[in-house]
Amino acid sequence: MTSSPRPLLNRRLAAFGTTIFAEMSALALRTGSINLGQGFPDTDGPEEVREAAVRALRDGRGNQYPPGPGVPELRAAVAAHQQRRYGLSLDPDTEVLVTAGATEAIAAALLALVEPGDEVVALEPYYDSYAACVAMAGGRRVPVTLRPQGGRFRLDLDELRDAVTDRTRLLLINTPHNPTGTVLTREELTAIAELAVERDLLVVTDEVYEHLVFDGAEHVPLATFPGMRERTVTISSAGKTFSFTGWKVGWVTASPELVTAVRSAKQYLTYVSAGPFQYAVAEALALPESYFTGFRDDLRAKRDVLVAGLEEAGFSVYRPSGTYFVTADIRPLGESDGIAFCRALPERAGVVAIPTAVFYDHREAGAPFVRFAFCKQRPVLREAARRLKGMGDAKGAGGR
């Protein structure tokens, strides 16, 4: 008998108790704050896509277990989308796998491809599920820090090279990047691709924000670079592109061998999911180009409202080229600890943000940065901006 009871949560997950989003959302609720923490839109996606889901439900399509790889209509729509937008030819029967959101795709890819002890090189700050999934797979994460320079967060190519060792199994990439809003440039992507080929690495790339790029920035899938088609697992999802984050329809595209490997893990995670929604997302992917440009332009305008508000409130802002998020530096406000700042912000200003330090292994590198989501209605963003601007006046008064 040991004197202290064995902890319930296993060692692999011990560091991942509750997410920052749970803490901040509870704080938002308790204080009646505007929640710009979690990245979900406060308006639903296109009505015709919602109707397509209703039709599928009523017509009895997908109400029972859909096929393991996903319904053929959706796999065909994903393949057509990759061909149309990026010139990538995929066999919908062997090179597309439908998952329960990008989240399951990430988990299945890492569980399938990582051997205990393997190193996974990931860009930090990283999306929160990466660290937990690498841990569940028994891998070791090796962060490469994106650092602000010239108004954007950049990848240091030397740092990336130095991070790769003989134990490195794969590179876990995310572009457009959450939380920094950076879109990796062609130059950065070329270097990643060259490194992967040179060191014979697999690449798992999370491209869920592929449609959400602004100001002429271009999303280029890693799979389109020379030598990458056969070593890249590309992940995307309907949640962000179509504003249906609750539907949890995602997909993997890769070579037949990689899809088969990822599917081996996926079939024992959820097996299948979201039957009727899969049919609706197949229709969504075939929407005319005007939907995609319209949504992007609307989101860019929302970004501009929030960025202007944050600048007026005294933050130093990294104007994002993509995603739902803007990262701001709190040092011009005389602050340096983003975690303390975000814990106090709801009382101080009635707004919730997320400290990005929690997405770093090198916490000090992320200490002064906080992330705000702008995928909200304009009046909400304007009110948040107004509250943040009044933050100084209300200090100590507990009001807003």
- Binding-site ranges for ligand PLP (CB under 6 A): 101-103, 127, 174, 178, 206, 208, 237, 239-240, 245, 248, 250
As measured in angstroms, the least distance from the Cβ of 106 to ligand PLP is: 6
Q: With respect to ligand PLP, which residue has the nearer C-beta, 250 or 309? A: 250
127/214 with CB nearer ligand PLP = 127
Shortest distance, position 104 Cβ to ligand PLP, whole Å: 7
Q: Whole-number minimum distance, CB 245 to ligand PLP, in Å?
A: 5
* β partners of residue 249: 100
Q: How far apart are CA 312 and CA 305, in angstroms?
A: 11
Nearest residue (CB) to ligand PLP, 164 versus 173: 173
Which residue's CB is nearer to ligand PLP, number 237 or number 255?
237
Q: How far is the CB of 204 from ligand PLP (least distance, A)?
A: 11
The residue (of 155 and 349) whose beta carbon lies closer to ligand PLP is 155
- Using only C-alpha atoms, the chain has a radius of gyration, in whole angstroms, of 21
- For residue 122, list its beta bridge partners: 143, 172
| Alpha-carbon gap, residue 349 to 345, rounded angstroms | 6
In the complex with ligand PLP, the residue whose CB is nearer, 206 or 329, is 206
* Closest by Cα among 117, 108, 111 to 142: 117
* Residue nearest ligand PLP, Cβ-based: 101
Residue whose CB is less far from ligand PLP, 174 or 253: 174
CB 247 within 8 A of CB 329: no
Q: Work out how close the CB of 242 gets to ligand PLP at its nearest, in angstroms, rounded to a whole number.
A: 11
Spatial neighbors of 227 by CB under 8 A, at least 6 apart, are 193, 196, 197
Query: What is the SS3 string spanning 78-138?
Result: HHHHHHHHHCCCCCCCCCEEEEEHHHHHHHHHHHHHCCCCCEEEEEECCCHHHHHHHHHCC
For the bound state, the minimum distance from the C-beta of residue 241 to ligand PLP, rounded and expressed in Å, comes to 10
**Which residue lies nearer to ligand PLP by CB, 101 or 139?**
101
CB of 393 to ligand PLP, least distance (A): 34
Please report how close the Cβ of residue 339 comes to ligand PLP at its closest, in angstroms. Answer: 20
Q: Which two tokens stand for residue 150?
A: 């010239």
Considering beta carbons, is residue 155 or 208 the nearer one to ligand PLP? 208
Q: Where are the beta strands (DSSP E) in the chain?
A: 34-35, 96-100, 119-124, 140-149, 152-155, 168-174, 202-206, 232-237, 249-253, 316-318, 325-329, 351-352, 354-355, 369-373
- DSSP string computed for 138-161: T-EEEEEEEEEETTEEEE-HHHHH
For residue 235, the minimal CB distance to ligand PLP (Å) is: 7
Query: For the packed helices 101-113 and 256-269, what is the interaxial angle rounded to 10 degrees?
Result: 110
Tokens 């802002």 sit on residue: 317
